[in-house]
Structure 1
């Protein structure tokens, strides 16, 4: 895939410069390998409609890397390879966006990739094996079940999701996984005011509070993105998350 890798890496490097981050060449090559596997597997299972190299680099990989801006703490250097160990859950990981991309960029990160679709979970396992990644667990389960598992409940420094569900539903997936003082990061488009208003009740019940709303845009490569950074300020009641499927059918209201 020589014709794929060169434009992919060019846009990926440009995206890192836009983000003010730097990565070693080995990490960029690993991301290119991940992208090639997405294209190859996409012929058998539906992973993405974005397959052109420049578009995939921007809309999947650089977009995933924007989460580093939400997780970076004051004083940390611009090289995520030098950041300290943390635990992260990626809900609805799909083809590994953003969880696997963040793991490659931040090797000390321990990542749980939560993906209930069996074929996608097997793809994730294939990428983890091909890239020889350590500290990655692929969980082929519903987020509601993982959130009630004592081995995962309130065990993570951060939980993230990208284009999975409306915010009130998403918070019920994410916040039960996050420890007190940790954060949930919801990756959304530019229009989030209505979702935030609808999520007030969910925030109150689940122990979260909006810490920051970060607006990003990288024209023409990436459409406007909003990162909602939710701090876990109180324990999540034991009744949440509810049974699989219930959060989506009956979202928490004010």
Structure 2
């Protein structure tokens, strides 16, 4: 079957990302595995090819509008789900050392199949809750970049994601709309986790009128050892 990659190519041009023929083929393979596995488990509600190109692949890669990924060496995708944004970032930037963290084993089975079929290297899946894995020395403050496309409020996400970032690194939260209210609410959480808002990048997703926001938070100092709090607490009782 032939696929039209025009929308992905346009997005990559906008983000100044250059994809080889092999990388384009990996995106197609990823799509085919996503649709195949989605028949037996709930990975995504978006399965039409062009929609996946824009709403999953191009959206995942949009972080390049806020960061020079070529200067990033290691990345953890917290609550990766079906692998967004971690796998698209790994395909587009093969130098990245990527960790995909998720609490559901069956999703990790899918991701391990994707990694195997696409021949990806320097990428691992980790089973666990964000609050628990962040306490382990092999993950805590070990990454240049922590990312999340999760729908949680920013105050909670900061506690889930920032403990993984080394001082000097960044946490980037992908948001589907302008996030001024969430930012105001998360001001204390950002500071407590050792971070400082570096930039806000508002844009429209390539070829659409869908608004997107990247919140780039720089880690300036170590996260206090008591964070993250025990499982579920950051969502139930965010630091406000």
Shift of 1:247: 0.8
TM-score (norm 1): 0.91
1:152 has 2:148 as partner: no
* Structure 1 unpaired stretches of 5+: 74-82
How many residues are matched? Answer: 240
Contact 2:60 2:85 in 1 (8 A): yes
User: Using the alignment, how far apart are the partners of 1:218 and 1:137 within structure 2?
Assistant: 29
1:58 has 2:54 as partner: yes
Pick one of 214, 218, 225 that aligns with 2:201.
214
Report 1:102-117 matches (<5 A): 102-117=89-104
Shift of 1:85: 6.1
State the secondary structure of the residue aligned to 2:210.
Answer: strand
1:16 has 2:12 as partner: yes
User: Using the alignment, how far apart are the partners of 1:248 and 1:84 within structure 2?
Assistant: 32
State the secondary structure of the residue aligned to 1:6.
Answer: coil
State the secondary structure of the residue aligned to 1:71.
Answer: coil
Give the corresponding residue for 2:157.
170
Give the corresponding residue for 1:25.
21
**Structure 1 moving runs of 4+ over 3 Å:** 218-222
* Structure 2 unpaired stretches of 5+: none
Give the corresponding residue for 2:216.
229
1:142 has 2:129 as partner: yes
TM-score (norm 2): 0.96
Report the aligned-residue RMSD. Answer: 1.4
Report 1:61-140 matches (<5 A): 61-72=57-68, 83=70, 86-140=73-127
Shift of 1:118: 1.5
